[in-house]
Structure 1
């Protein structure tokens, strides 16, 4: 039996853009926590560090879909290059401001401009789609990308904090900026795999978020993102309550491991079940596996429950991006993928806030109620939307696409 992952990398240019893309996307995980690690050391105020980091994250969540919309219209090279250049210069200014004690407003301004950093996971998925559109290999490619996203969050956050703590405060953001600059340059220079630009007469108008499938999937993944963040916050709180705070990193690592492994397995299978049904099943598994978290009273039981609760995260992402590829017009693909990525990020921010409030108010063990509620809402969203998600993509004229898809 052939290895499906070996097969997708036989495509011309696949190895090159995948390798460069992994380097270029590490800043997605490195930047927010790197800003906190840097400013908390240089200024000694966590509120300031958190506020600047939140400014970057929320602005990036708003700007990324707009940048991707321009990419769909004008191409990756034309848009990603200047957007990245602005972000790199802004990160440099942020480091200088932190090191030299510039006024506080300069830190927030630098964070705003740094948020022009493009959504590299969306750019990479667009290239895979260009290679394998309407072919089973695309499912394998999306599975690989979901696994790489898991590695990105694990490796990126750890690398950023580790560098800042062990070397000097700006080290994490410095490496973040270098990876963003060189990784993106290496990615953009590979022009042969860049997705083609749709002809003007086939180009859709309006935003992808006006399309019903994008709205549904983004909403569902906001709640999945909340589950992801709640696991991290609650794991830290519970292990501290149990007197084993060092175990938090192990528990969180196990969470990502379960998702990573099952994602690779799903990618190797050629499932024939409709994607919208796979999406609902994956969300059903997520909702069901949140319940044991409420009863984990020891670190080993917590690690086991967290492992089980994470196994369906990657399959959910795989089917979500597969639905976007099949239900969104080709001329809106990058923006559609970016909206879903934005939904995950928004969910993580909201989930971290909600879980933190619940932990502070009702105790560490009750933080996982946020996961239970989010899982149920995500599943309900998918179940009531099965008919809408089952409708095939309509490659219509720009005029027809200007209205929300029904």
Structure 2
């Protein structure tokens, strides 16, 4: 039986850009947690650490789609070089401001500027799409990248915290800046796989969010983001309530492992089910797997429950990314994927904050009800939007930038 993952790497250049993209996407989770580790040590206050980290995360959530839109208009290399340089300087500024104890407002300014960091997850997927558009190999490629995303979000925070604690407070942020420059330089150097720029996009055009189906997909991703944003906070609180706070890392590892394993399996399967119907199904599973969370009574049961909950994450993302590829114009794919990841970020922030408030008010176990709500939002969104996502609405580029229906996104 042929290995589908080996097949996708037969094309020249695929190994190189995927490896470079892996290095270049490490900085996002490393920076978010690295800022907390750095500032909690240099300033001794968690409020400033959390506020600066949140400022960076929210700035990136809102700026990254605009950067990706610029990428679709001008090309990856033309945009990645200047935005990476500016981001790198801002991250050095953050480290310097912490080390030299510059005024707090400067930390927030640098955090906003660092939010210019490009969405490498979208840029890598855009290259895969350029190579395997409308071919079954694209599904496998998206699955592979989703698995790498899991690895990044498992080891990125560990690396960011570990460097700061082991060496000096600024080490995590500085390492993140180095990974960004090295990974991006290697990525940009590979010209043969860079997507072509459609000349008709040079003068701009409307945002992909003018397309109603995109709102449904982004809302589903926001619901999924709320699930694992809630999980991170609630698992730590539950483990602490059980008298073993350190066990939270093992429980969360099981969550990531579930997504990792199932993502590999899903990527090896050739599905015949229409994408829209498949997204309804996987969002239902994601919602159902959250239901036992508020009722668990011990850490072993929680580990098993979150493993199955994690198993629903990667199929949802893989299917959603494939659906976006069918919805948006080919020349705006990077922007479309970035908006989906923005939905994840907003859902994550909302889920973690609401879960924290719920835990403080009603106890650790009740924090998981926010994950249940996130799953319900994702599934309800797909029920409402299934009809619209199933109708022929594939957008294509035209000289007037007007969308025309040519292909059923559900196929």
Same fold (TM over 0.5): yes
Which stretch of the first structure deviates more once superposed, 206-215 or 248-257? 206-215
TM-score between both structures, scaled by the size of structure 1: 0.97
Question: Deviations along 1:128-153, whole A, 9 cap, x unmatched?
Answer: 00010000000000000111111111
Decide whether aligned partners of structure 1 residues 400 and 387 sit closer, same or farther in structure 2, where only a CA change above 3 A counts. farther
- Match for residue 247 of structure 1? 247
Mapped contact 2:74–2:202 kept (Cα < 8 A): no
Partners of 2:141 and 2:160 in 1: how far apart? 27
Decide whether aligned partners of structure 1 residues 209 and 398 sit closer, same or farther in structure 2, where only a CA change above 3 A counts. farther
- Match for residue 95 of structure 2? 95
How far off its partner does 1:199 sit? 2.3
Query: Superposed, which structure 2 residues align to 1:50-129 within 5 Å?
Result: 50-129=50-129
- Match for residue 336 of structure 2? 336
SS at match of 2:245: coil
Partners of 2:165 and 2:77 in 1: how far apart? 36
Mapped contact 1:216–1:385 kept (Cα < 8 A): yes
SS at match of 1:401: coil
Mapped contact 1:294–1:369 kept (Cα < 8 A): yes
Partners of 1:93 and 1:49 in 2: how far apart? 15
Partners of 1:367 and 1:235 in 2: how far apart? 9
Decide whether aligned partners of structure 1 residues 201 and 170 sit closer, same or farther in structure 2, where only a CA change above 3 A counts. closer
Mapped contact 1:206–1:401 kept (Cα < 8 A): no
How far off its partner does 1:399 sit? 3.4
Mapped contact 1:204–1:402 kept (Cα < 8 A): no
Partners of 1:164 and 1:310 in 2: how far apart? 28
Mapped contact 1:217–1:320 kept (Cα < 8 A): yes
Question: Deviations along 1:146-193, whole A, 9 cap, x unmatched?
Answer: 111111110101110111111110010011000001000100110110
How far off its partner does 1:397 sit? 2.3
Partners of 1:325 and 1:347 in 2: how far apart? 22
- Match for residue 42 of structure 2? 42
Q: Where in structure 2 are there 5+ consecutive unaligned residues?
A: 407-411
- Match for residue 394 of structure 1? 395
Query: Superposed, which structure 2 residues align to 1:300-319 within 5 Å?
Result: 300-319=300-319
- Match for residue 265 of structure 2? 265
- Match for residue 229 of structure 2? 229
Partners of 1:326 and 1:56 in 2: how far apart? 31
Mapped contact 2:396–2:404 kept (Cα < 8 A): no
Partners of 2:78 and 2:205 in 1: how far apart? 19
Q: Aligned residues, how many?
A: 406
Decide whether aligned partners of structure 1 residues 403 and 212 sit closer, same or farther in structure 2, where only a CA change above 3 A counts. farther
Partners of 2:8 and 2:349 in 1: how far apart? 34
2:268 pairs with 1:275: no
Q: Where in structure 1 are there 5+ consecutive unaligned residues?
A: none
Partners of 1:274 and 1:78 in 2: how far apart? 36
Question: Deviations along 1:46-71, whole A, 9 cap, x unmatched?
Answer: 11111111111111111100000010
Mapped contact 1:204–1:332 kept (Cα < 8 A): no
Mapped contact 1:204–1:398 kept (Cα < 8 A): no
Partners of 2:364 and 2:37 in 1: how far apart? 24
Question: Deviations along 1:94-151, whole A, 9 cap, x unmatched?
Answer: 1011101111121111111111110000000000000100000000000001111111
How far off its partner does 1:395 sit? 1.7
SS at match of 2:26: helix
Decide whether aligned partners of structure 1 residues 259 and 334 sit closer, same or farther in structure 2, where only a CA change above 3 A counts. same
Mapped contact 2:286–2:375 kept (Cα < 8 A): yes
